[in-house]
Amino acid sequence: MSDSPGFPDSAARDRDEAESASAFAHPAVAPDRTAAYGDHPDQVIDFYAPRDGRTAAPLVVLLHGGAWRAPYDRAHVSPLADFLARRGFAVASVEYRRGGEGGPTPGGDPVAGRWPETLDDVAAALDAVPALAARELPEADVRRIVVTGHSAGGHLALWAAARHVLPEGSPWHLPAPPPLRGVVALAPIADFASAVELGVCGGAVTQLLGGGGESGDLDGRTAQADPAALLPTGIATAIVHGEDDIVVPRAVSEAYVDAAAKSGETVGLTLLGDVGHFPLIDPAADACAIVAEEITQLAW
């Protein structure tokens, strides 16, 4: 899915490939309902009802990863959505515009993200979720919403919970904190400075911000898009990260946790030993059950 930062040894690369293969081996799970939050084909949300038939179930808003690149859509986290639904959650899996207008990067990957469309869509989707869920998924309790996301989706989850910290002139600014029970970010691209330094996902952060623009433009965009620059949020936040992740190294989450502490906020960090990047979204992996437990602790 993305380039690995640094030069991991062959054993680490082999394990990452095996974990990725396991996570992507599950067939896509069709949603119970799908609703649009805009006119673009990517502006849709898939809804999964709790499989145990419960009502007033906490609602998990799920943001998929894939380095904000167009080839990777919400289908690859549909098994995770189903896994959470089988744990008694209602789930809203958000699609958003990805990729870019240009061609492939020098590394051969598609361009990561669209500025400002990727963030436009996430903001619009999160704003629309309560009303759409009330209409499409009456089993959901929209008073108990937890946002989760993996990798680039983890970035988007943290960012969505921090929009009230943005300056009032920002198009994504909220006048008050969003009504969330909390955020559970999974191996998130949470700190842009460390992600850029480590070359995470083949330079995806710089591409998301517009790549070749003037340095002043990039600095201004970073200030609006980097979760580590939007602290404190006042919203309960937990991060789950594999200690052996070579796609988004644990140092990226640790940098965010450090930034939160400096702002006076405590962010929970659960490091999973002998775990890489992909088991967090793999229903066959023990790590996925830990993710569900972290969500449970905030939702109930």
Phi, psi of 276 (to 5 degrees): -100, -145
How many Cα neighbours within 13 Å face the side chain of 32? 19
Sequence length of the chain is: 300
The pTM assigned to this predicted structure is: 0.95
d(CA 179, CA 149): 17
Which regions of 189-257 does DSSP assign to beta strands (E)?
237-242
Cβ of 121: how many Cβ atoms within 10 Å?
23
DSSP state letter for 177: -
The per-residue pLDDT string of the chain (300 residues; one tens digit each, 9 = 90 and over) reads 443 445 578 999 999 999 999 999 999 999 999 999 999 999 999 999 999 988 899 999 999 999 999 999 999 999 999 999 999 999 999 999 999 655 566 667 789 999 999 999 999 999 999 999 999 999 999 999 999 999 999 999 999 999 999 999 999 999 999 999 999 999 999 999 999 999 999 999 999 998 655 555 889 999 999 999 999 999 999 999 999 999 999 999 999 999 999 999 999 999 999 999 999 999 999 999 999 999 999 998
Rounded distance between C-alpha atoms, residue 3 and residue 45, angstroms: 28
DSSP 139: T
State the Cα angle at 68 between 57 and 281, rounded to 5°: 45
Q: Are 272 and 293 in contact (CB under 8 A)?
A: no
Q: Which of 270, 275, 271 is nearest to 286 (CA)?
A: 275
How much of the chain is helix, strand and coil, in % rounded to 5? 40, 15, 45
